[in-house]
A and B are shown apart, each in its own frame.
Chain A
Amino acid sequence: MIKLTGLVKRFPGRTVTANAVDGLDLEVPAGSLAVLLGPSGCGKTTTLRLIAGLDRPDRGEIVIGDEVVCDPGKGIFVRAHRRPIGIVFQSYAIWPHMTVAQNVAFPLQGGRPRIPRRKVRERAVAALDLVGLADLADRPAPALSGGQQQRVALARALIREPKVLLLDEPLSNLDAGLRDRMRDEIRAMQQRLGITTVFVTHDQDEALAVGDEVVVMSEGRIVEKGLPQDIYAWPRTEFTARFLGVSNIMAGTVRSVAPGVTEVVIAAGVLRCRPCPGARDGDRVSVLMRPESFLLSRRRPDGPAWRGTVDFSIYRGDCWDYHVKVAGEVLKVRVYQEKAGLAHGDIVFLVPDESAAIVLPAPGTASAPAPGGAPAVVR
Chain B
Amino acid sequence: MTTRAKPWPLPTSGGRGVGQARPRRRIAVEPRYLILVMCALLVAYLALVPVGTMGVAAFRSHFLIGGPSHWTLRNFVTIFTAPWFGALVTNSFLYAGATAVVSTAAGFGLAWLVARTNTPARALVSVAAITPLIIPGILSTVAWALLFAPQVGPLNDLLASAGLPTFNIYSLPGMVFVQSMHVVPIPFLMGVAAFRSMDGSLEEAAAASGARPARVLRTITIPLARPAILSAGLLTFVQTISTFEVPQLIGVPGHRFVFVSEIYAALQAFPTDFGAVGVIGVFVLAIAATGLVLSARLGRSTATQTLTGKGFRPRVADLGRWRWAGLGVAAAFFLLAVILPLAMLVWSSLLPGYRPPSTEALRSVTLSNYRAVWTTPALVGSVEHSVVTAVTAGAIVTVLSAVVAYITVKTRARGRSLLDGLATFPIAVPSVVMGVGILYWYLVAPLPFHLYGTLTILVIAFVTIGLPYGVRFLTPGMARVSDELEEAASASGAGWLRTFQRIYLPLLAPSLLAAFLYTVIVAFREITAAIFLYSSGTEVMSVMVYNLWSDGSYPVVAALGVIMVAFLASAVVVVWLLGGRIQITRLTNQG
Interface of A toward B, CB cutoff 8 Å: 52-54, 56, 79-83, 85-87, 89-93, 95-97, 106-107, 110-111, 142, 146, 153, 156-157, 160, 166, 168-169, 172-173
Contact = CB atoms under 8 A, between A and B. Distances in A.
B273 interface: no
A93 to B, nearest CB: 4
Nearest to A172: B310
Nearest to A80: B207
B322 to A, nearest CB: 14
Contacts of A153: 205
Contacts of A172: 310-311
B310 A85 contact: no
Contacts, number: 92
Contacts of B204: 52, 54, 80, 87, 89, 93
Given A81-B207, A111-B210, A97 B308 contact: no
B202 to A, nearest CB: 5
A91 B310 contact: yes
Contacts of B308: 91-93
Contacts of A166: 208
Given A91-B310, A156-B205, A169-B311, A96 B305 contact: yes
A79 B207 contact: yes
9 contacts: A54-B204, A89-B204, A90-B310, A90-B311, A91-B199, A92-B308, A95-B220, A106-B206, A157-B208
Interface stretch (B211-219, B422-430, B519-527): B211-219
B interface secondary structure, majority: helix
The 3 nearest A-B residue pairs measured at CB: A90-B311, A107-B209, A93-B205
Contact of A54 (B202, B208, B210): B208
A173 B310 contact: yes
B321 to A, nearest CB: 14
B265 interface: no
B155 to A, nearest CB: 39
A153 B201 CA distance: 12
B208 A52 contact: yes
B374 interface: no
A93 B207 contact: no
Given A56-B318, A90-B311, 18 more contacts: A81-B208, A81-B210, A81-B213, A87-B208, A93-B202, A95-B202, A95-B205, A95-B206, A97-B224, A106-B209, A106-B219, A110-B210, A110-B211, A153-B205, A160-B210, A166-B208, A172-B310, A172-B311
B210 A87 contact: no
Contacts of B209: 81, 86, 106-107, 156, 160
B312 interface: yes
Interface in B184-228: 199, 201-202, 204-213, 215-216, 219-220, 223-224, 226
Contacts of B212: 81, 110
B207 A89 contact: no
A93 B206 CA distance: 9
B189 to A, nearest CB: 23
Contacts of A146: 309
Contact of B208 (A80, A90, A91, A95): A80
Contacts of B208: 52-54, 80-81, 83, 85-87, 157, 166
A52 B210 CA distance: 11
Contacts of A168: 311
A146 B226 CA distance: 25
Nearest to B118: A12
A45 to B, nearest CB: 9
A309 to B, nearest CB: 42
A79 B211 CA distance: 10
B207 to A, nearest CB: 4
A89 B210 contact: no
B219 to A, nearest CB: 7
Contacts of A156: 205, 209
A346 to B, nearest CB: 44
A93 B199 contact: yes
A327 B495 CA distance: 65
B234 to A, nearest CB: 19
A142 B302 CA distance: 13
B436 to A, nearest CB: 42
A91 B219 contact: no
